[in-house]
Structure 1
Amino acid sequence: IMVLTDPEFESSVLISSDEGASYQKYRLNFFVLSLLFHHTQEDWALAYSHDQKLYSSFDFGRKWQLVHERVTPNQKKKKILFLSFLTTDCQYVSCRAQACSESSRTYPFSGYIETNSLVVQDEYVFVQVTTTGRASYYVSYQREPFVCIKIPKYSLPKDMHIVSTDQGQVFTAVQEWNQNDTYNMYISDTRGVYFTLALENVRTSRGLGGNSMIDLYEVAGIEGMLIANRKVENQVKTYITYNKGQDWRLLQAPTTDLAGNPIHCVLPFCSLHLQLQMSENPYLSGSISTKSSAMCGTVMFGCCWVCWHVYKKLKHCMLRQARTLSLQSFCCGPSCLFADKLNISLSIGRFFGHFSHRSEWQLIKIDYKSIFTRRCTEGDYQTWHLHNQGEPCIMGQKQIYMKRRPGNYCMVGWDNSRILSAEPCICRAHDFECDYGFERRGDGNCLPAFWFNPSTLSQSCSQGQNYLNSTGYRKVVANNCTKGVKEMYTARKQQCLNRPPRGLVLTTRDDKLTANMGSNVTFLVRLEEGDSMRTNIQLDFGDGTAVSYSNLSWTQEGIRHVYRSAGIFRVTVQAENSLGFDTSALYLHVTCPVEHIQLLAPYVVIKNKEVNLTAVVWPSNFRTLTYFWWLGNNTEPIITLDSSVSHTFSTEGMVTVTVQVSSGDFILQDTRSIAIQGDISHFIRNNFKMSLSLPSF
């Protein structure tokens, strides 16, 4: 047992190894804000301090070592064998938990990572990276290199949440640009890279902390069963799926209520609605909860589960003890306990929560073992399956469960097996979902979407190798069906054919077309079609230097180059193989900061006569500067790429001329005052007399 002391008095942990009979104190040199224990190594723990430092311990908190400073909080983690965290300057850091030295840490991203975007769940790590104002979402599966998440190209997401990573598949909620109180649900392949649409317009709400809560619930105990509240024509309706989002249907309402009164509800005009939202309010319980053992025991719906389960099923709702409310008033009366946590095991129920928003925490233990007269025997159970619901196969197999017979009030033992038998089913169409880039049409077939070209699947394929050519379908992850249409729907292995290069694209790593003189510029080369292993790449930097590569794989990390002079350079790349070639180009502006500017202009000019104005800059940036000329009272400048401009002034008097020079992010300016005269001889005569009248020195 580990106990944290009150930080207002001291910073220590109390550790007991004899079930709380005695404790030993270990003082800490930091104040613990949150603790996280490893999912399998019970002595491993992470501690996050008030001053944004991350500590690790491998002996159950007796000794701690600093992992990293300036770590951002509130990052979801289910496993800490391999550490992943964000720093306050938005760097992503990863290292092994027991050897997280500075030399072993990796920093895979150069772009800006959104604060609190890191999500670590099971075998997946997700981050949101912002580059040149555009947000991209990346995933790493089983510590593989990060890959950009692919969602349908017509999707324009403004927000994304990872909902579930169970059973080796990712459910994500994406809010499109035109959605406000709904999200679209997408489901991925095993690696969490390629996502397809599972359900549109799932209802959401905002919690007290501002987080979005998605009305999607994963039912424990039956794989592939999910429940969602969907907004349809301004009405919220509850849908259920038995195959992980492949098909959704409305819920059938019961035929009678608890009092035995008939319920007249016919699909699709009437259906059962469930409140799925899990409140973030610490004083309110969730609206629905299930356990993996629900098939043989109980399904819990909200606070009044106690009354429904105990009173309706056990006919016993009046357990009174000193300083303890009756069960009836505990749940069904005005003093309902708002449960933060609940734990049910055999005949013991433990409820942890509040009786009101202002009350202290309460821990209530209910032991209703005395109301059972015996343990359940084999005759008290019956088989249960979904066959009578029109679902003989769930996730590709027929499962038969053991369930206690209604009305038999006996105690279920620990040795009760939830699943009696399970056998695989023959694969049918609904065991498969549409593959990435394909959409299900009205006839039920998966066909290429308007934005997707199936031929791009083999873009990285090399001659002599093989690739998987999608049929438009992929089997639902964790589905156990066999034979049937499996072979027809499974991607087929095909041999790669050599093709001429096509769709050659040249960009910089940060998508910018400007660079500072003397700095590294990284160029990226991408080829949509062609044999990348047998294609020669020639890259000309435009400043008299060029490089060549024998195949495209050598350029995956980018090609770096340093420009030693300023200017505008035409960078070209050519991809060529035995069947043809393709080219691409960009124009890179290489600049250096302007340190000084001087405007050259005469002090006096003649009205209606053209005059030249010149700006001298240092150092000189050939063809990379923009000049803004503000002449007199003009509200708009004259913009030129040359350092001089000709202008005619039409009004006599004093005017102010200002020139600004722009070089990258730097802008400098200089100003001169000019006298405009109609009769220059009169001006000279007046100035000459003035000079004669001056005293000599």
Structure 2
Amino acid sequence: GEMPKYQEIRLQNLPSEDLQIISTDDNQVVAAIQDWHQNDSYNLYTSEHRGLFFTLMLEDVVSSGGPEDNIMIELYEVAGIKGVFLSNKVVENQVKTYITYNKGRDWRLLQAPTTDLQGNKVYCEQPFCSLHLHLHVSENPYASGNIISKDTAPGIIVASGVVGSELTSSNVSIFITSDAGNTWREIFQEEYSVFFLNQGGSLVAIRHTPLLSFDEGRNWDKYSFTSSPLYVDGVLGEPGEDILIMTIFGHFSHRSEWQLVKIDFRSIFQLPCTSEDYVTWQLHNEGEVCIMGMKRIFQKLRANARCVKARDQYISQMSDSCPCTEADFECDYGFERQIDGSCTPAFWFTPSATSRDCLTGDSFLNTTGYHKALSNNCSEGSLLKYSPRQQNCPSQAPRGLQLFTSEGTLVATVGKNVTFLVFLEEGLGSMTSVTVDFGDGTAISYGNVSSIDDGVKHIYSKVGIYQVSAMATNSLGFDRVVLYLHVSCQLEQVQLSAPLVVVKNKAVNFTTMLHPSNVGTVSYFWWFDNKTDPVVTLDGVITFAFSKEGNHTVTVQASAGNTVHQDQITLAVYDYFRSHALAFSSNLDELNPRVSEWREDISRVVKSCIVTGISEDQLLVTVLPGVPTTAEVFIVPERRSRDRAMDEKWAHLDQVLTCQITYRYPQLPGQELVHESLG
């Protein structure tokens, strides 16, 4: 079944239309409450015996408007057997029917019939397919409604519904169960009104002509009482409680007046029932016979036993108590059931808060996280294991709380387990609880510090800096500690980008690119020339001006988490230079592997092509990263003297700048010769 969740609710803060009291049986309140995000559904909650604290019983139960603006909650209590409920729940925008045998502790889908009415095999596998029922109880006292069960016929439920992935209003059939919902059979493939007769010993189905069954719907006998078919509108009274007479009213046509027909079935039934007319059957839930701490055996009439049941003969039930097991206990207030069935504190709940009135030197009953379900009658067994335990009140407030990671560092990697260690110097004891908040919207609580000796594990899904806190609390006080955890992913590469040639004393922008681009908190260390001390920044961009001509080296290191990567470039600084942008024909882009070695190779080819009348030292070429492939040509002054003829040489360069290159690049299979025009 579905594992319930638990949370605190304050009834006094809810508008009346958001709260519906469903039941107050067995000193327990069942309430339907609509959360702010729900429109046509409610959550069901059950209380403990005082009615003060509520736990979640079932989420997203279907609701609909009833007469006089009443809200109808689709929760049906099966008559005759305590603790059995049916409910229609919204699951991923589909309405599905669930059943519980222990008053909401566990729920499961209904098993569909194995065959249809004609005996054909039904292929229906849970959870993709199951039986779904309409649970509307008739508002008309003269009609049967969509579902019916009786105290006088425990285990028999008749309801309209469908087999499939969800509940629909088309292709509705009538189904019956004789074992309280474990197995179902299809009895009609169209809608009928079904009533109990003879204290639940027989069934009457009415559409136009009454049909009578003595074997729980397996066979039906037609019983004509009028010469023409009667459209039945309802049945007067509660048929079958004490007498074998039904009064039916209806009409022969839409224009005719109502007809009132009294049917006496006494001639069909024979002598009063004796013990030999009864058989026994045992209540179970998919084979489990200990339900709510008891084994329960019921009696019912044999098939085709046409005897009259006496008024007190249906009250026949034998019960044997079962030893207590985990299945007989619910999670206590503030605790959540985990996948393995255990109950642990919810993230919002502080177990030590239950001892706030506890005085030093006294003792009290402390919860184990479980309490025996109300109406459960199990005996001994594991009762002591789950029962509250007598414990001493705390003697001092928590002090000296410490929080570390198991690695002793303040960095972690996305997607990997981080283990936090918690230590407490003073205030140790079973009544001192600890809550660890991971800073990403999740937290977890422990009943005492000793229960987390192995540490608290958590996985972060996003990079960032998280404030992780731990709080130790008991009735005498609390202590809190915080650490800041840097969560990053693995840095693989850093690239430094800047112009190849710059002007002296003019600011230049240096930019870094990271791969992957989002790795979390990054520190950058910059070295200019041979300076020993770096410049440290938290941004991957820096501005710097060079005061001397010549070649200068710039180095950057990027540090993220436990990894450091470096890149270095060399640039030329001059008082004066000229530059020219180059564009390549587009087919070169198909051969561009986007690596620095390829760009350096192309730079050499371009330089050799256009060096004519210019000193090779005066010509610098850089091919820029990215696509489309572009480049820039720089003319710089001759070394040791200012080149006063640069403008003449630039004009000469304009004349020779368009040339044809035959470039052999053997690393590219099938593309040995590449002809490009530079312009």
Q: Whose Rg is larger?
A: 2
TM-score of the pair, normalised by structure 1: 0.45
TM-score calculated relative to the size of structure 2 = 0.46
